[in-house]
A and B are shown apart, each in its own frame.
Chain A
Amino acid sequence: MGLMAIDKRDLSAFIDGLIPQWEVVAPVPVEFKYAFRKVGSFQDVALDYTNTMLPPKKFLLPQRDELFSCNPEGGPSLTPRFDETPRVLFGVHSCDVHGIWLLDDILAEGCSDPHYLCRRSNTLIIGLDCKGPCHDNAFCKDMGTLKPAGGFDLFLTDLGERYAVQVGTGAGTALAERGGFYMADFEVREEFFAAWQKKQSGFPNRIGYDTAALPNILAESYDDIIWEALEMRCFDCGACTTVCPTCYCFDVLDENDIGTDRSIRYRRWDSCQLQDFAAVAGGANFRGKRSDRLRHRLLRKGKYFKEKFGRFACVGCGRCGRSCLLHIDVRDVFNQLKG
């Protein structure tokens, strides 16, 4: 799709113009960090933010996602629940756009997940380019997520007085028709290209090899002692998967209403790093060893999805490393495995 532009002074009117029609979600400051929240006005948005604590996936796969309700009277009758709230995720950085793009593939593949797809089809994604590395441990460049390749409707790159706007979908085109946007002229294209060049050189590589080799390196490291060593730094708390833009594992639970006999089946975020994740009702735990759980996570991130979808299930955002109290950092592990 094409390249457009919008003057900075027009962005506010554009976003505020969306709010009556869509639930607009954007990064906002929370003390010295940031979080994606529903905003009431463009003024609330932190344009110049570093990575949010949780990725925006929480609006597509909420922590508690009701699948259906059950009314035992006359049946029982089961009513599926679908969230059709029209929503705009604004200000999503390239790494997180990649995360959503991967979830799009994963949750559509095979037996597709309509609860996700329903939310997704009602969600517009307006990305916003970050200007520099958000943190020392971000390794987006190594994971190939410096610029978006899919999964967005519009994507904004700061050119000083205006933004270059990549249009990713037809819905994005429709958004751009709301006013303020114009086709990119030669000058915008030049600046956009220059900005991209500048961004590329401004981000260092933080993995000491070409990540194309990663699946093989991980395969060869299956029995490496590094997994046992990492055990000594892991709590089984699942913070790493909770903050991950591409983790989507869930648990399914029933909840009863005390006043009636109705119940709700819902799913909630789960984590392959929790001790009982692979335990069955009979008591056997098929991934009872902490080192096996750690390896499983890293293999998912760096091997399995790459082989299946052609893309890593790690976007290099570095959130897991920052949230780990004993500093288990995917980037460090990838580096150490190469040895």
Chain B
Amino acid sequence: MNHKYVSPYVPRLAELVTARQLTSREKFFEVRLQDGSALGHQPGQFVEVSVFGVGEAPISVSSSPTSQGLGFELCVRDAGSVTHALHELPEGSTIGIRGPYGRGFPLDELKGNDLLFVAGGLGLVPMRSMINYAVDNRADFGRLTLLYGSRTPADLLFADETERWRGTPDFHVATTVDLADGAWTGQVGPITKLFGGVAINPVRTSALVVGPPVMFRFVLKSLLMMGVYESRVYLSLERRMKCGVGKCGHCQIDDVYVCQKGPVFPYTRVRKLPEAL
């Protein structure tokens, strides 16, 4: 039926091209839109993923728009009804995609700066999109630093890729875990422990922070103490983005719909939103 209305709630069909277990809780998916078009996203944006008959969940896009693949990549934790169903789907299944939605990292503002990526846990998933964007446009950015904290060594995501980043010119990578096992020789402790070991030039640095809410406060404090300008700190906020188009109300903090104005916010904005942190 041709209709003069087009519903933003009806997803585009997409194929789960590959699905592979990343950790005990996370699975990695390559997704391709059925009509062959590119997703056209910016690092830091998210999509609404539908498993038909189960529901829909907001998922950060993990691949960079610069990546050579035909589709895009998602890394999903089995945490709810939809994500669980997604984990169960075989390769080749059809899913629904809406989006990309929201505002990602401000690429124009970041250009020319040193970038300090601070990722906690699943925060590396959207951060990976931005990191690979920076790696693929290496000349556009100065020094790159990734500080990545995880619960245990087994929870570390994208280990191969982290090694590749380490080998990228002028890219410093440091990781830490909350709970070490016998084989772990790296840092143990909260992510703020890594700040002591990094050499950054605060006046040239933009800091991008993605992680669980508890992490933000300590990381912010460390960043500001290091001398990073407040205006150059960007946070990605997790909220219940149900509709993705600024209507359903679930992701609203104060007067801001995170799905519209976020999930990436400059700290200077977040500071004025008491409900943000």
Contacts A249-B248, A280-B240, A299-B254 given; does A68 touch B275 at CB 8 Å: no
Q: Which residues of A contact B (CB under 8 A)?
A: 67-68, 70, 72, 75-76, 78-80, 82, 107, 110-111, 113-115, 117-118, 222, 248-254, 256, 261, 263, 265, 267, 270, 272, 277-284, 286-287, 292, 296, 299, 303-304, 307-308
Q: Which residue of B lies closest to A276 (CB)?
A: B240
Contact of A284 among B80, B238, B242 (CB under 8 A): B238
Q: Which residue of B lies closest to A113 (CB)?
A: B247
State in angstroms the CA–CA spacing of A70 and B13 once bound together: 11
B9 within 8 A of A: yes
Q: Which residue of A lies closest to B240 (CB)?
A: A280
Residues on B with C-beta less than 8 A from A222 are 274
From residue A244, how far is it (CB to closest CB) to chain B in Å? 12
A–B complex contacts, Cβ < 8 Å, 5 sampled: A76-B94, A113-B8, A248-B249, A251-B242, A280-B238
Inter-chain contact B83/A250, CB cutoff 8 Å: no
Inter-chain contact A75/B8, CB cutoff 8 Å: no
Which one of A114, A117, A272, A304 has the greatest number of beta carbons of chain B within 10 Å? A114
Inter-chain contact B255/A252, CB cutoff 8 Å: no
Q: Which residue of B lies closest to A307 (CB)?
A: B255
Residues on A with C-beta less than 8 A from B248 are 249-252, 267, 270
B260 within 8 A of A: yes
B111 within 8 A of A: no
Q: Which residue of B lies closest to A70 (CB)?
A: B52
Residues on B with C-beta less than 8 A from A304 are 254-255
Inter-chain contact B250/A256, CB cutoff 8 Å: no
Question: How does the 8 Å CB contact mask read for B51-87 relative to A, with 1 for contact and 0 for none?
Answer: 0111111000000000000000000010110110000
Residues on B with C-beta less than 8 A from A283 are 79
What is the size, in residues, of chain B's interface with A at 8 Å between Cβ atoms? 45
Which one of A222, A261, A278, A283 has the greatest number of beta carbons of chain B within 10 Å? A278
Contacts A107-B247, A277-B250, A280-B238 given; does A114 touch B77 at CB 8 Å: no
State in angstroms the CA–CA spacing of A68 and B7 once bound together: 9
B217 within 8 A of A: no
From residue A71, how far is it (CB to closest CB) to chain B in Å? 9
Residues on A with C-beta less than 8 A from B10 are 67-68, 78, 80
Inter-chain contact B245/A111, CB cutoff 8 Å: yes
Inter-chain contact B275/A287, CB cutoff 8 Å: yes
State in angstroms the CA–CA spacing of A113 and B82 once bound together: 24
B243 within 8 A of A: yes
Inter-chain contact B55/A254, CB cutoff 8 Å: yes
State in angstroms the CA–CA spacing of A72 and B213 once bound together: 38
State in angstroms the CA–CA spacing of A280 and B258 once bound together: 13
State in angstroms the CA–CA spacing of A286 and B275 once bound together: 8
Main DSSP-derived SS at the B contact region:
loop
Q: Which residue of A lies closest to B82 (CB)?
A: A281
State in angstroms the CA–CA spacing of A270 and B255 once bound together: 18
Question: How does the 8 Å CB contact mask read for B25-61 relative to A, with 1 for contact and 0 for none?
Answer: 0000000000000000000000000101111110000
Contact of A111 among B8, B52, B238 (CB under 8 A): B8
Cβ-closest 10 pairs across A and B: A249-B249, A281-B80, A114-B5, A111-B245, A263-B53, A304-B255, A281-B79, A80-B7, A67-B9, A70-B52
Residues on B with C-beta less than 8 A from A118 are 5
State in angstroms the CA–CA spacing of A292 and B50 once bound together: 31
From residue A132, how far is it (CB to closest CB) to chain B in Å? 34
Interface members, chain B 81-134 (any A CB < 8 Å): 82-83, 94, 96
Contacts A110-B245, A284-B213, A286-B275 given; does A76 touch B52 at CB 8 Å: yes
Q: Which residue of B lies closest to A106 (CB)?
A: B247
Contacts A68-B10, A278-B250 given; does A253 touch B79 at CB 8 Å: no
From residue A123, how far is it (CB to closest CB) to chain B in Å? 15
From residue B15, how far is it (CB to closest CB) to chain A in Å? 12
Residues on A with C-beta less than 8 A from B239 are 278, 280, 286
B253 within 8 A of A: yes
Contact of A80 among B3, B240, B246, B255 (CB under 8 A): B3
Residues on A with C-beta less than 8 A from B54 are 254
State in angstroms the CA–CA spacing of A32 and B9 once bound together: 40
Inter-chain contact A70/B53, CB cutoff 8 Å: yes
Residues on A with C-beta less than 8 A from B254 are 296, 299, 304
Residues on B with C-beta less than 8 A from A270 are 248-250
State in angstroms the CA–CA spacing of A278 and B254 once bound together: 12
State in angstroms the CA–CA spacing of A114 and B9 once bound together: 9
Residues on A with C-beta less than 8 A from B79 are 281-283
Contacts A76-B94, A263-B53, A281-B83 given; does A303 touch B5 at CB 8 Å: no
Residues on B with C-beta less than 8 A from A286 are 213, 239-240, 253, 275
